Amino acid sequence: MLGSSYRKRLEADLIRWVDEGLVSAESAVAIRRSVAREQGGPRLPALLGLFGGLLIAASVAAFVAANWEEIPRLVKLVAILLAIAVCLLVAFRLERKGSARGADAAVTCGVLIFAAGLALIGQMYHLPADWPGGSLLIALGGLAAAFLMRSSGALAIALVALCAWAIGRWQESDGQLTPVFLVFYLPALWLAFSRNNRLIHHLAILAGAVWLGMVPGQGILRVFDYGFVAYWLALSGLYVALGAIALDRGGPGLLTACLPWGLFGMLVTMGTELMRILDRDEARAGHAFDLVFCAYAATLAAVAFLAWSARERRFAWPLAAALVLALLVPTVFWSGIAVAMLGRVVVASLVLLSATALTIAGAAGGIRRLTMAGSVLFGVAILILLWQTVGTLLDQSLFFFVAGAALIATASGARRLFARLNPPEPEKEAA
């Protein structure tokens, strides 16, 4: 998977390496050609084709709407069916001509018309207004088209529709778990594995996160318990660990998409946990229900695997430490000491240490997202702690002083620590 930022950086590096004599001009050309081949040709024509198709579909929809009452119902139905057939015929012809992206755009248009057709048929035939049911039908149509026509656009529509269906049914049924989601999600995930498309990877990972996030049930909306935050924190940690394992071992691309969403979840949940120490009532223990323990077990197993199987230990070990420190935060609340000063100091220290470890992992592994997430968490934590005085101002001053001194000491020892973790290979003497 080649991002545009990687390609820009590679181009800049190639120019520098050729100038420095590290890479020959011929090798640079070969590398550029290889990258261009992996990128798979220009995307612009397919993208413009997709937009054009969407505009034509919108034009037809507006025309139909303008003459809605005059057009007999069966004619409308046949028109919708014909529009789908035409889209797939165009997709067939484009695929035969070798334009995979153009074919993908045509299939995407076909699935969109199928979705619009469902709404129109619902209106024409007075079907019950069941939008989650409609979303499931769209998801099924999208999945079929994504599999048979190898369309990424159809898969994107299917994943979004699956989420809409799961959320709708979850709300309707008072937060009952919908395990049937997996029956449709797992094939979608399998398809996403095959695709070299970053949007698809992110959507697939996000769809799984949405469903897993809803597992605790309607209590999230009604009787809120901080056990939910602990569950989401563990889930975020699991995503970060999975993303890191994939990055460390060179793929698959789908799993690497777990990293940014896991980091985002960690930022939100740890920020929430930290804010609790500002208020005595909010710092109450909360409950760790079975689901939280399951999430903790899965996350700790993934973290242990990351640390044990790491190829680049100076990236994986600080990250594993950051995750363990983050997982410790809710346990401080469960112990009930977070209402006292000692507990508050421990929570604040754990959050700051976790943020620092994230930043170290990012810097050591050259992963900007980790560095950024660690830095943002650190900054947000300082802001939250400064927002309201915990204890006296002198206590607060002492805490920041000790934390700052500890960080400076860590920074000075970091170089030696990294050198010990990954000792440089001794240079071979020239023969």
Partner 1 sequence: MMRVVSADAVVAKVPLLWRTLITAALLMIGLVALVEQRARILRGGTEVRLRTVPIDPRDLFRGDYVVLAYPISTVHAETGGEPFRRGERVFVTLARDAEGFAQASGVSREWPRTSGDAVVIAGQVTTTGACALNQDGTTDCSRRRLRVAYGLESYFVPQGEGKAIEATDRARVEVVAAVSSSGAAAIKRLLIDGKPVYAEPPY
Segment near partner 1 (CB under 8 A), from 14-22, 45-53, 192-200, 366-374? 192-200
Q: Is 30 in the site for partner 1 (CB under 8 A)?
A: no
Which long-range contacts (C-beta less than 8 Å, at least 24 apart) are formed by 157-160? 157/108, 157/111, 157/112, 157/115, 158/111, 158/188, 159/188, 159/192, 159/200, 159/203, 159/204, 159/206, 159/207, 160/203, 160/207
In angstroms, the Cα distances linking 276 to 226, 262, 330, 390 are 10, 21, 11, 11
38 counts as binding partner 1 under rule CB under 8 A:
no
For partner 1, the binding residue among 1, 144, 199, 372 (CB under 8 A) is 144
Cβ pair 262, 236 in contact under 8 A:
yes
Window 324 to 363, contacts with partner 1 (CB under 8 A): none
Query: In the 8-state DSSP scheme, what is residue 280?
Result: T
What does the alpha-carbon distance between residue 270 and residue 351 come to, in Å, rounded to a whole number?
Answer: 7
Tell me the closest approach of the beta carbon of residue 168 to partner 1, in angstroms: 10
In the bound state with partner 1, the residue whose beta carbon lies nearer, of 246 and 267, is 246
In the list 7, 10, 31, 122, the residue contacting partner 1 (rule: CB under 8 A) is 122
In angstroms, give the least distance from the CB of 130 to partner 1.
7
Count of residues interacting with partner 1 (CB under 8 A): 57
Give least dist CB 210 to partner 1, A. 18
User: Using the rule CB under 8 A, is 393 a contact of partner 1?
Assistant: no
Q: Is the Cβ of residue 189 or residue 268 nearer to partner 1 in the bound state? A: 189
The nearer residue to partner 1, 95 or 225, going by C-beta atoms, is: 95
Contacting residues for 113 by C-beta, under 8 A, at least 6 apart: 57, 80, 83, 84, 87
Instruction: Give CA–CA dist 17/412, Å, rounded.
Output: 32
> What angle do the packed helices 180-194 and 131-148 form, to 10 degrees?
30
Q: Considering the rule CB under 8 A, would residue 423 count as an interface residue with partner 1?
A: no
Hey, what are 173's tokens?
Answer: 């049924």
Which residue from 252, 336, 404, 413 is in contact with partner 1, where contact means CB under 8 A?
Answer: 252
Give 8 or 97: the residue with its C-beta nearer to partner 1. 97
> Pseudo-torsion of CA 154, 156, 158, 164, nearest 10°?
-150
- Could you say which of 32, 150, 313, 369 contacts partner 1 (CB under 8 A)? 150
Other C-beta atoms closer than 10 Å to the C-beta of 63 total: 12
CB of 124 to partner 1, least distance (A): 7
Please pick, from the candidates 3, 21, 98, 128, the single residue that binds partner 1 as defined by CB under 8 A: 128
Rg (CA), the chain: 26
Q: Please, are residues 306 and 366 in contact by the beta-carbon 8 Å criterion?
A: no
| Beta carbon of residue 233, minimum distance to partner 1 (angstroms, whole number) | 26
Cβ distance to partner 1 smaller for residue 77 or 206: 77
3-state secondary structure 129-185: CCHHHHHHHHHHHHHHHHHHCCCHHHHHHHHHHHHHHHHHHHHHCCCCCCCHHHHHH
252 preceded by a cis bond (ω within 30 of 0): yes
Give CA 223 to chain center in angstroms: 28
- Residue span 81-120 as binding mask against partner 1, x where in contact by CB under 8 A, dash where not: x--xx--xx-xx--xx----------x--xx--x--xxx-
Q: Give yes or no for residue 165 binding partner 1 (CB under 8 A).
A: no
Q: Least Å distance between CB 182 and partner 1? A: 17
Question: How many Å separate Cα 19 from the centre of its chain?
Answer: 39
Part in contact with partner 1 (CB under 8 A); list of ranges 9-17, 123-131, 300-308, 405-413: 123-131
Q: Minimal distance in Å, beta carbon 4 to partner 1?
A: 24
Q: Which of 137, 178, 135, 177 is nearest to 160 (CA)?
A: 135
Is residue 51 involved in binding partner 1 (CB under 8 A)? no
**Closest distance to partner 1 from the beta carbon of 13 (Å):** 26
* 186 lies in the site for partner 1, by CB under 8 A: no
CB of 154 to partner 1, least distance (A): 9
Contacts with partner 1 by CB under 8 A lie at 68-69, 73-74, 77, 80-81, 84-85, 88-89, 91-92, 95-96, 107, 110-111, 114, 117-119, 121-130, 137, 140-141, 144-145, 147-150, 169, 172-174, 176, 190-191, 193-195, 246, 249-252, 255
